[in-house]
Amino acid sequence: MSEMIINSAKTVRQLVLQQVKAIPEDLYDIRPDCYNNTIRWNIGHMIYWMDAYMSLGFSKESAIPATYASFFNSGTAPSNWTDTPPSKEELIEFLSDQLNRISELVPESLEITLAEPLQFGPIVFHRAGELLNFGMIHEGMHLETCGCLLKVIQGKH
């Protein structure tokens, strides 16, 4: 089962990379009125949280700049950015690097019990694999949001 979760995580990330690469960067920062965030924010948010899941669940060192928290953590928004966000090229680089890190996981690592249970709202995680599994669901939701944003944006142009 653990190997299937790792393979599914790799597949989801490959789909994210495929879609992200296909979106022109000039559409990354358009925020339709009916949305709180942009395509760039959703991509960075996936990167930020996958990095967190890898750190929390697998004791991996963070592999992203500390500035990503101010851009992409939950509760942030492009309307509050005061610095220049990462480029499409940089985002793709981190997505690819994370795919490599996911590929290096061994099935046994998903069974690791967390030092303390982690609670995100009503959800409690006890094992590293639960975090990775949730990470895939989270990533799928934001990938879909990117797709919806793209449709709305292209409908405007």
Residue 95 has what pLDDT? Answer: 98
Residue 156 has what pLDDT? Answer: 59
User: Using N-to-C axis directions, what is the helix angle for 128-156 and 39-58, rounded to 10°?
Assistant: 180
Residue 136 has what pLDDT? Answer: 95
Strand partners, 127: 113
What is the SS3 assignment for 118? strand
Q: pTM of the entire structure? A: 0.95
Residue 84 to residue 18: CA distance in whole angstroms? 24
Alpha carbon of 117 to those of 53, 110, 132: distances in Å?
Answer: 13, 14, 14
Mean pLDDT, residues 131-145 taken together: 96
Percent of the chain scoring above 70 in pLDDT: 99
Residue environment code for 117-155, b if the CB has 16+ CB neighbours within 10 A, otherwise e? ebeeeeeebebbbbbbbbbbebbeebbebbeebbeebee
How wide is the angle at C-alpha 112 spanned by C-alphas 106 and 117, nearest 5°?
Answer: 140
Residue 41 has what pLDDT? Answer: 98
Residue 148 to residue 157: CA distance in whole angstroms? 15
105, 113, 112: which is closest to 136 by C-alpha?
Answer: 105
Q: Tokens for 25, please give them.
A: 């960067």
Is residue 157 pLDDT above 60, yes or no?
A: no
Is residue 91 pLDDT above 60, yes or no?
A: yes
Residue 83 to residue 57: CA distance in whole angstroms? 30
